[in-house]
């Protein structure tokens, strides 16, 4: 389990995790750190069912992996691999895409096997970084903590609140840096490269226009007229929405439109919002697909603006460019797949031994795949 310095999924787990209810109106693109509270899944330590060999989960190339690492991984994993049935997803009629939603999913493989896989992966990653001479020094780890503290004064405090000791924070950051160093080994980016990128990609350094909208969606003219009558009588727009709106996941979204970035709105909605002032409603519109009627109250509008380019942003751009160059030269996915295949791994927990053997056999049978852009490796 890796601290997610970039707001991106760590390897090797993938892809489904419920998100937050909305987006921050002050959110900046490209370079903002995302350190959400780590989800606790309730795994209890010390469970000896299945017969763990003492306090050791596995031995990887002669290095013991403690059971405590396994329990902590189970407790703090933010992302899991799961199967999502697309037929069960609700789709927002305005955007034609599924909004943020909470649902039960089928975890595959088991959480236990996923935690085991992560522990082994991280151990092999650390070993490979040391073999390649790119494992971060204590000083490098401390400097990274100081850098993240500049970006978020509560960086360490938030992690402490979620159960991380200072030593655990250092250990997790060391893994993130080790992965970044493996991918970017041999790559160089100059200050001139950074300045050129910023100059040539001005749009990436612009905070997009944003609007916070409360939304009412009703199925027919009769309900529209009832809702409009209450609005005209002075009822709060949000209260009318709670009474009448049939918007998908309305309660979970607090009766708000699921996005605040105006550039992500459908063209017709962007036009409506451009013409509507703050603290006013757009008026009723008929959706041509669902035949429902919708009305939006503009709670807040924030115009687009250029970001202030400081040393912190320049450093983040440098890391982004290093990652791109490194991914062109170093295939980290292949490196790790080869390292795992060549590793001597002994599982010390009986109920995990057989599932691991099957998973390892599948890995060993796979052919080398083309390299992918592994953006999760850079410590933004």
How far is CA 307 from each of CA 137, 206, 242, rounded to the nearest angstrom? Answer: 33, 5, 37
The model's pTM: 0.69
Handedness of CA 371, 3, 146, 66 (dihedral sign): negative
How far is CA 21 from each of CA 92, 99, 199, 263, rounded to the nearest angstrom? Answer: 14, 10, 34, 19
3-class SS at 345?
Answer: strand
For residue 160, how many other CB atoms are within 10 A of its CB?
Answer: 14
Instruction: Give the model's pLDDT for residue 378.
Output: 53
Pairing mode, if any, of strands 293-302 and 210-218?
A: antiparallel
How far is CA 139 from each of CA 56, 145, 209, 235, rounded to the nearest angstrom? Answer: 30, 10, 40, 59
Higher pLDDT, 33 or 118: 118
Judged by average pLDDT, the poorest of 1-5, 118-122, 244-248, 349-353 is 1-5
Which residues lie below 8 Å from residue 154, measured CB to CB, with a gap of 6+? none
Structure tokens at 265: 């709105």
Residue 220 has pLDDT above 70, yes or no: yes
Q: Which CATH number fits domain 209-303: 3.40.1010.20, 3.10.50.40, 1.20.1250.20, 3.60.15.10?
A: 3.10.50.40
Structure tokens at 184: 């970017």
- CA–CA separation, 95 and 294 (whole Å): 13
What are the pLDDT digits (tens) for 159-172? 999 888 999 999 99
Which of 184, 180, 187 minimizes the C-alpha distance to 10? 180
End-to-end Cα separation, the chain, in angstroms: 17
Instruction: Give the model's pLDDT for residue 328.
Output: 84
Residue 19 has pLDDT above 80, yes or no: no
CB 249 within 8 A of CB 98: no
Judged by average pLDDT, the poorest of 59-73, 209-223, 350-364 is 350-364
Q: Which CATH number fits domain 56-197+310-377: 1.10.4030, 2.30.30, 2.60.40, 3.20.20?
A: 1.10.4030
3-class SS at 46?
Answer: coil
- CA–CA separation, 316 and 102 (whole Å): 32
Residue range 302-309: average pLDDT?
93
Instruction: Give the model's pLDDT for residue 366.
Output: 66
Instruction: Give the model's pLDDT for residue 12.
Output: 30
**CA within 13 Å, CB half, 52:** 19
Instruction: Give the model's pLDDT for residue 54.
Output: 61
Q: What is the mean pLDDT of the chain?
A: 83
Q: Where are the alpha helices (DSSP H) in the chain?
A: 67-76, 111-131, 138-151, 155-161, 166-184, 191-200, 221-232, 237-244, 267-275, 311-329, 332-342, 350-365
Give yes or no on whether 56-197+310-377 and 209-303 have one common fold.
no
What are the pLDDT digits (tens) for 25-80? 333 333 222 232 222 222 333 333 334 446 999 999 999 999 999 998 988 887 88
Residue 99 has pLDDT above 80, yes or no: no
- The torsion defined by the Cα of 18, 12, 176 and 357, in degrees rounded to 10, comes to 130
What are the structural domain ranges in the chain? 56-197+310-377, 209-303
Residue 274 has pLDDT above 70, yes or no: yes
Looking up tokens 């993240």, which residue turns up?
Answer: 148
Residue 93 has pLDDT above 70, yes or no: no
Structure tokens at 29: 């693109």
Q: Where are the alpha helices (DSSP H) in 201-244?
A: 221-232, 237-244
């Amino acid at each position: 389990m890796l601290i997610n310095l970039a707001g991106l999924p760590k390897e090797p787990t993938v892809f489904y995790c419920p998100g937050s209810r909305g987006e921050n109106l002050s959110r900046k693109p490209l370079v903002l750190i995302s350190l959400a509270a780590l989800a606790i899944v309730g795994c209890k330590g010390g469970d000896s069912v299945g017969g763990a060999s003492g306090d050791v989960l596995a031995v990887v190339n002669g290095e013991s992996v403690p059971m405590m690492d396994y329990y902590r991984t189970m407790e703090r994993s933010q992302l899991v691999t799961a199967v999502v049935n697309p037929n069960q997803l609700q789709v927002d009629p305005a955007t034609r895409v599924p909004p943020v939603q909470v649902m039960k999913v089928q975890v595959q493989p088991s959480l236990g096997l996923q935690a085991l896989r992560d522990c082994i992966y991280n151990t092999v990653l650390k070993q490979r970084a040391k073999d390649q001479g790119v494992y971060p020094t204590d000083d490098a780890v401390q400097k990274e903590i100081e850098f993240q503290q500049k970006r978020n004064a509560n960086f360490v405090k938030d992690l402490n609140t979620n159960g991380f000791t200072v030593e655990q924070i250092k250990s997790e950051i060391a893994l993130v840096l080790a992965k970044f160093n493996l991918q970017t080994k041999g790559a160089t980016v100059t200050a001139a490269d950074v300045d050129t990128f910023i100059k040539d990609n001005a749009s990436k350094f612009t905070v997009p226009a944003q609007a916070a909208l409360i939304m009412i969606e009703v199925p027919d003219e009769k309900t529209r007229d009832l809702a409009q009558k209450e609005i005209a009588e002075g009822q709060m727009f949000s209260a009318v929405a709670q009474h009448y709106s049939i918007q998908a996941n309305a309660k979970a979204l607090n009766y708000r439109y699921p996005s605040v970035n105006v550039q992500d709105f459908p063209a017709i909605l962007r036009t409506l919002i451009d013409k509507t002032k703050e603290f006013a409603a757009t008026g009723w519109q008929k959706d041509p697909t669902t035949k429902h009627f919708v009305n939006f109250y503009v709670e807040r509008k924030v115009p687009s603006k250029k970001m202030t380019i400081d040393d912190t942003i320049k450093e983040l751009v440098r890391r982004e460019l290093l990652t791109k160059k490194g991914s062109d030269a170093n295939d980290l996915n292949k490196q790790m797949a080869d390292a795992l295949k060549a590793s001597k791994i002994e599982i010390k927990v009986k109920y995990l031994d057989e599932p691991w053997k099957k998973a390892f056999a599948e890995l060993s049978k796979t052919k080398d795949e083309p390299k992918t852009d592994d953006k999760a490796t850079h410590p933004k």
